[in-house]
Structure 1
Amino acid sequence: MRIRECREEDVAVLDEHMPSPGAASGHASRFLRHREGVSTLLVAWRDDGRPVGSCEVLWEGCQAPEVRAVHPECSEISGLGLWPEALRSQCVGTALIDAAEQLVLRRGRSSVGVGVEKNNPRTQDLYKSLGYRPSTPYLDCGSYEDSAGLVHRVADACTFMVKDLAPVPSGEEPAVRGT
């Protein structure tokens, strides 16, 4: 498996192999943010050229006012997804998180966060095992358009979890596991 930044030609492959629930253009909108420099979209690829996971580093951090008040300089790892779901618990997600953390370090940031739904203890436990600590409760509000064109509004109770990152010694590149 290798992890690299998304390229424009990858978007159609992501749409084909990694469904984006509720949005036909989910990968395209994430890639647009990536191209604009607002985020970095990472994709994990199998040796046969199929994508198996992705995540986005949002450089401006979580947009929820409760989180921004406490962590105004904290970038956010968002939209971590694996496909097929059978890949869960096989270190693909951990490798994507590690690659995202290394990007954040290279940008000179000292912390990174992630929003986790309160009713998802398995994911909370994963992030805790990776050094994240629960910080701020918030409501993650958004909307999506389904294939019939109907817009659905959602609000999920979440906890923003934060990890302090160790600075990389001068002259060294951070190691990226799983790439």
Structure 2
Amino acid sequence: MRIVVCRAEDIAVLERFMPSHSVDGSHGARFARQEAGDSSYLIPWLDGLPVGHAEVRWTGCEAPEVRAVQPGCPELNGLFVWPASLRSRGIGTALVRAAEEQALARGTGLMGLGVGDDNPTAARLYARLGYRPTVPYVDRWAYLDVDGVRQECADPCVFLVKDLSSGPLDVKPA
């Protein structure tokens, strides 16, 4: 597996293999933020196919609750591994590590990410990787349903932060 920053020619392939229905989290929107310098859109490739994605938002989390407590902390957003049969095989961990390496290369000493209250599996992974809870918040997002109608969502989450000063590859035993 290799993890690379998304290229313009990857967008069509991503949409074909992992269609996005999110309004501002679509592959095109993430790539546009990357092109504007606001993020890095990381894509893991396995056997020539994309198997997930993660966006490092250098501008931080949009939630005001998080901005108040963690101003300037980059956010790892939209971490996703697909198909589901590839989950729990190290791809998510590799994406987190790649994001941390990018942050260190930029001279950033922190990395943050949100985890839904309904996602204990991801919460355990992030805790094992050294992320600690800082503030509860509500993640607000929208998607287009099968009829093309915009649907609004609000998910209770916790924003987790890791101090990268000891390096990005610290992994505690499971």
Q: TM-score, normalised by structure 1?
A: 0.89
**Other-structure match for 2:172:** none
**Other-structure match for 1:90:** 89
**Other-structure match for 2:45:** 45
Structure 1 residues 24 and 67, CA, compared in 2 at 3 Å: closer, same or farther? closer
State the 1:20 CA deviation.
Answer: 2.1
Q: Which amino acid aligns with 1:78?
A: N
Structure 1 residues 129 and 167, CA, compared in 2 at 3 Å: closer, same or farther? closer
Deviations 1:81-118 (A, max 9, x none): 11111111100010011000000111111101000001
Identity percentage over the alignment?
A: 50
**Other-structure match for 2:71:** 72
Task: Quote the Cα distance in structure 2 between the aligned partners of 1:146 and 1:103.
Answer: 34
Paired residue total: 169
Cα-Cα RMSD: 1.8
**Other-structure match for 1:2:** 2
Where in structure 1 do 4 or more consecutive aligned residues deviate above 6 Å? none
**Other-structure match for 1:35:** 35
List runs of 5+ in structure 1 lacking aligned partners: 169-173
Q: Which amino acid aligns with 1:9?
A: E
Q: TM-score, normalised by structure 2?
A: 0.91
Task: Quote the Cα distance in structure 2 between the aligned partners of 1:33 and 1:14.
Answer: 16
Within 5 Å, which residues of 2 pair with 1:145-156?
Answer: 145-156=144-155
Which stretch has the larger CA shift, 110-119 or 24-33? 24-33
**2:51 match: secondary structure:** strand
